Chain A
Amino acid sequence: MSLEFTSSEMMSVTAARALTNDMTCFVGIGLPSEAANLARLTHAPDVTLIYESGTLQTKPDVLPLSIGDGELCESALTTVSVPEMFRYWLQGGHISVGFLGTAQIDRFANLNTTLIGDYREPKVRLPGGGGAPEIATNAKEVFITVKHSKRTFVKDVDFVTTVGFGRDGTARDNVPNIGRGPTVVITDLCILKPDPETKELVVTSLHPNVTREEVIDATGWEIRFADQLDSTPAPTAEELEILRDLKTRTSAHHSSTQSGQQ
């Protein structure tokens, strides 16, 4: 029997499956946070989630709107200061996976969250780097989840806010004490992984009912497909139910004004 699901749900479920129980994950806000908490509520109940606001091992019941909602602190094992978070826990080597979103990504998995256009005269000013530049180099590996479109998947990003493998795929070569970088990119159409040699992103798995042409049309460079192209398993009924419950709870929580005494 096949279940009805949206491409966004397919993306979240697939991104969640990338996390396992033994991982310590530094979670970015938005899609990564949704995927990381879905993983925790399904197959990976003991996955350790860490947010840059200082919340260690947090178990929020609803998805946080910001990186520092009270829910994160109240459900955390402990909360540390922001310098301690970045210096001891991230730079100190305790993070196995950094889970990031982005505004733009290029063929070498470099991320741009700074601006579109020229730096001094931006067409669109984006929020900036935040924690990502150091998460991407100090975590042992990086997962990226982002919606697939030609505007997002560009041949070369306008600005390298956060390094994947650099402009030519070699930015991590011979750099001491640096993580492996992006190991998987999960979109609403497919899964991409860097080629082991060139580091260029290659499609390794297509989501159900997605064609090669759709991926080609949504990518700003001549995208390559792996020789052994897999088909991503569809979400299970349980995954969909838990994801939908989580989103319903979250939506209700964020639309009410929270101004009373606790």
Chain B
Amino acid sequence: MAEFLSLQEAVSKHINNGDTVAMEGFTHLIPFAAGHEIIRQEKRDLTLIRMTPDLIYDQMIGAGCAKKLIFSWGGNPGVGSLHRLRDAVEKGWPHQIEILEHSHAAMANAYEAGAAGLPLAVLRGYVGSDLPKVNDQIKFIECPFTGERLAAVPSVRPDVAVIHAQRADRKGNVLIEGIVGIQKEVVLAAKRSIVTVEEIVDELGASVNACVLPSWAVTAIAEAPKGAAPSYALGYYDRDNAFYKDWDGIARDRDTFQAWLKDNVFEKGAA
């Protein structure tokens, strides 16, 4: 059964330096509150996995949490670059990070294979792309039935999955609504999982085919209202597109980034 913890306790107990951590949420329900707690606890040498690193990993990379990044699209959606990611890759600030990049289709397949307990995912992908030349985790295999050449990537099996969801009931069952992304897959693929939620309620109010994670499939739950902002939680608050635009200016410069981090993360406690 899932254990109810404060966000501070959940991060402290379940995320260790050097862990492989996947914090998912495809534009929607990005677990920012958990990311900020990881920054505050100064976790180091993390291998961070996420399809779209987004602002959350830009902040964590700039704060020095990451050793390696596995991703498939590293931009500020509709705005431009992730400047902290670029500074780390191009100039090695605050330190060099290793990157391993895929396509979205490969990452989605790899998470699903992880959830299915398989060692690899097979897809019709990467045809004609240079990505296999720079990522040795992309191989090609021959279909034993048709002879078709298909791409293969190792499944994603993180130490810890971190996601944000709308709500949990008091037994620890979790409801995810709207753009459900890859959240169910990452929790089932990981050894441990932390789920932050907008609220804990008596009744989930889930429809019969809703995306529900049973309590016994989740390690820890922490209540974190507005825990996905500046991304959004359908039914609770909208995406703060203005902040996503402002981030471009904040993150472009090391000093303004560090000042922002101090004011908005280090000097604020966990929700």
Q: A260 → chain B, closest Cβ, in Å?
A: 7
B75 at the interface (CB under 8 A from A): yes
Q: Are A29 and B129 in contact (CB under 8 A)?
A: no
Q: Are A68 and B128 in contact (CB under 8 A)?
A: no
The interface residues of chain B lying within 8 Å CB-to-CB of A132 are 103
A178 at the interface (CB under 8 A from B): yes
Contact of B124 among A129, A159, A177, A254 (CB under 8 A): A177
Contact of A262 among B72, B78, B180, B235 (CB under 8 A): B235
CA distance A135 to B185 in the complex (A): 22
Q: B82 → chain A, closest Cβ, in Å?
A: 8
CA distance A87 to B106 in the complex (A): 10
Instruction: List A68-114 residues whose CB lies under 8 Å from chain B.
Output: 68-70, 72-74, 79-83, 85-87, 90-91, 110, 114
User: Given A54-B181, A67-B77, A134–B239 Cβ distance below 8 Å?
Assistant: no
The interface-forming segment of A160-168, A204-212, A214-222, A235-243 is: A160-168
Q: A233 → chain B, closest Cβ, in Å?
A: 30
Q: Are B128 and A160 in contact (CB under 8 A)?
A: yes
Instruction: List B99-123 residues whose CB lies under 8 Å from chain A.
Output: 101-106, 108-109, 111-112, 123
Instruction: Please give me the residue from chain B that is nearest to A178 by CB atom.
Output: B127
Tell me whether chain A's interface is mostly helix, strand or loop, or mixed.
loop
Q: Are A171 and B127 in contact (CB under 8 A)?
A: yes
CA distance A126 to B77 in the complex (A): 12
Which residues of B are interface residues toward A (Cβ below 8 A)?
26-28, 51-52, 71-75, 77-79, 81-82, 85-86, 89-90, 101-106, 108-109, 111-112, 123-131, 134, 148, 178-182, 184-185, 211, 229, 232, 234-245
| 19 A-B interface contacts by CB (under 8 A) | A30-B78, A53-B27, A55-B179, A66-B241, A70-B234, A80-B180, A82-B181, A86-B123, A90-B105, A91-B105, A91-B123, A125-B86, A128-B72, A131-B103, A160-B128, A160-B130, A257-B240, A258-B237, A262-B238
Extra contacts, 5 of them, besides A52-B104, A254-B245 (Cβ < 8 A), are: A66-B77, A83-B185, A86-B104, A126-B81, A161-B129
Which residues of A are interface residues toward B (Cβ below 8 A)?
29-30, 52-55, 64-70, 72-74, 79-83, 85-87, 90-91, 110, 114, 119, 122, 124-134, 137-138, 159-163, 166, 171-172, 175-178, 253-262
